Amino acid sequence: MFRFLSVVDFRNFSNCRMEFSPGVNVFLGDNGQGKSNLLEALSLCSQGASFRIFENKFLIRHDCKSAIIDSAKVENGLEYNLKTVLDANLRIHFLNEKKTNSAFLRRKFLNIVFSPESLEVIKDSAEKRRALFDDLIVSFLPANAEHLVDYRKCLRTRNRILKDFVEQKQNLSQTEALLEAINPKFLQISTQITAQRLQAIKAIQFDFNNAMQNISRKTDVEISVEYVVSETNIANFEPLEIHLLLKRRLLELQDAELASGVSLIGPHRHDIRFLYGGNDSRFFCSQGQQRALILSFKMAQIVYHRKVHGTYPVLMLDDVLSELDAEKRDSLIAFLSGLNTQIFITTTDLKLPQSIGSDNCFVLKVREGKIL
């Protein structure tokens, strides 16, 4: 759990410090006052990244050159001091006053965020669905945070080789030699990440279906997940099958990659599709059903994390309760009320989070970048 948060020149906050309850913490205020910025600050210092995508310059208060975020998090009886310093180009993270990186933070601490944007992930791009599952595999196995970083580094190197060929900075034989050198590692990491995604999907399947049945209040609802590589569903592939498929596609797309200057295979190109009653939820589900699917997925992730690690992750609900209809909101609140974990909620209406348990709600009123 987070003990406190201190921000200096972050977003619309000049200098602010607040203490937290181990239970439900509510940031209450009108829209545009900075409630979500506080959740973002907690995410940045504990995960090394925001659940909202912005360049550093938008994270630093207007007319300021840098921003500082300080916090402390207690995990398994140990307290960790967290600090992030932002300037126009850099994000420097500290853990117990020693420099660290986002991959280590992501491996060490887990927050699960419910936001209006996350509820739209089914109909959004495949990139956002992949990000959803990459959060899952880090929860599944924290070392996957490092594997994802290694993959991105390898992918950047491979793309640089291909781009240099397109820009005629190296000839074909040089390019082929460089690709031949990097492809074995690229295939190894690609196979590893893909296999971990598939393993995590199988691990939460029961809880995923159970959560969906509770939210929809239908016992005959059947949901599943397709993992699509080159229009092939490989959800039941073993690691060796994954490796052979990726290797074959690497050979088949070699000329296309040389022509385009980018890598056309790998986990960054895969798609993940949620099936509702056997049909692709992107096209056969209402917006309400799509949102119920994502809520169920995140609820299953929370339950799974408890099974594996013995604790629940910190939960952040960014103005999400008001986005749900009464039935789904009641189902989510009933689920949350049974969790022994720290919860952060942003809202304009105190009645919504109070239904989780008014005795446990610690309310911080936010107005124009200040805590009242």
328 in Cβ contact with 288 (< 8 Å): yes
* pLDDT tens digit sequence for 185-220: 999 999 999 999 999 999 999 999 999 988 888 888
The sign of the CA dihedral 113, 339, 28, 330 is positive
Hey, how many other C-beta atoms are within 10 angstroms of the C-beta on 152? 14
Q: Is residue 160 one of the residues assigned to a domain?
A: no
Gap between the Cα atoms of 114 and 318, Å rounded: 6
Hey, how many other C-beta atoms are within 10 angstroms of the C-beta on 244? 14
What pLDDT is stored for residue 360 in this prediction?
65
Residues 311-337, mean pLDDT to the nearest whole number: 87
* pLDDT tens digit sequence for 32-68: 999 999 999 999 999 998 888 678 888 999 989 999 9
Beta bridge partners of 70: 6, 83
What pLDDT is stored for residue 358 in this prediction?
53
Can you give the residue range of the structural domain that contains 351? 1-110+319-372
Q: Would you say residue 79 has pLDDT above 70?
A: yes
CATH of the domain at 31: 3.40.50.300
Residues 79-91, mean pLDDT to the nearest whole number: 94
What pLDDT is stored for residue 338 in this prediction?
84
- HSE toward the beta carbon, residue 247, CA cutoff 13 A: 12
Q: Is residue 222 one of the residues assigned to a domain?
A: no
* pLDDT tens digit sequence for 113-140: 988 888 889 988 899 999 999 989 998 8
- Which structure tokens are listed for 166? 């397109």
Q: At a CB cut-off of 8 Å and minimum separation 6, what does 283 contact?
A: none
| 99: nearest Cα among 84, 86, 114, 111 | 84
Of residues 125 and 71, more confidence is placed in: 71
Q: Is residue 153 one of the residues assigned to a domain?
A: no
Q: Would you say residue 313 has pLDDT above 70?
A: yes
Gap between the Cα atoms of 220 and 213, Å rounded: 8
* pLDDT tens digit sequence for 254-276: 999 999 999 999 999 999 999 99
Q: Is residue 2 one of the residues assigned to a domain?
A: yes
Return the HEC string of the chain: CEEEEEEEEECCEEEEEEECCCCEEEEECCCCCCHHHHHHHHHHHHHCCCCCCCCHHHHECCCCCCEEEEEEEEECCEEEEEEEEECCCCEEEEECCEEECHHHHHHHCCEEEECCCHHHCCCCCHHHHHHHHHHHHHHHCCCHHHHHHHHHHHHHHHHHHHHHHHCCCCCHHHHHHHHHHHHHHHHHHHHHHHHHHHHHHHHHHHHHHHHHHHHHCCCCCCEEEEEEECCEECCCCCHHHHHHHHHHHHHHCHHHHHHHCCCCCCHHHCEEEEEECCEEHHHHCCHHHHHHHHHHHHHHHHHHHHHHHCCCCEEEEECCHHHCCHHHHHHHHHHHHCCCCCEEEEECCCHHHHHHHHHHEEEEEEECCEEC
What percent of the chain is modeled with pLDDT above 70? 98
What pLDDT is stored for residue 57 in this prediction?
86
Gap between the Cα atoms of 216 and 23, Å rounded: 27
Phi, psi of 237 (to 5 degrees): -75, 145
What percent of the chain is modeled with pLDDT above 90? 68
What pLDDT is stored for residue 36 in this prediction?
94
Q: Is residue 137 one of the residues assigned to a domain?
A: no
* pLDDT tens digit sequence for 332-369: 888 888 888 999 999 998 877 766 765 668 999 999 99
What pLDDT is stored for residue 83 in this prediction?
97
Number of domains in the chain: 1
| Confidence (pTM) | 0.88
Q: Is residue 100 one of the residues assigned to a domain?
A: yes
What pLDDT is stored for residue 44 in this prediction?
95
Residue type at 355? S
Of residues 111 and 357, more confidence is placed in: 111
* pLDDT tens digit sequence for 290-304: 999 999 999 999 999
Q: Is residue 46 one of the residues assigned to a domain?
A: yes
Lowest mean pLDDT among 6-10, 117-121, 312-316: 117-121
Q: Is residue 75 one of the residues assigned to a domain?
A: yes
Q: How many residues does the chain have?
A: 372
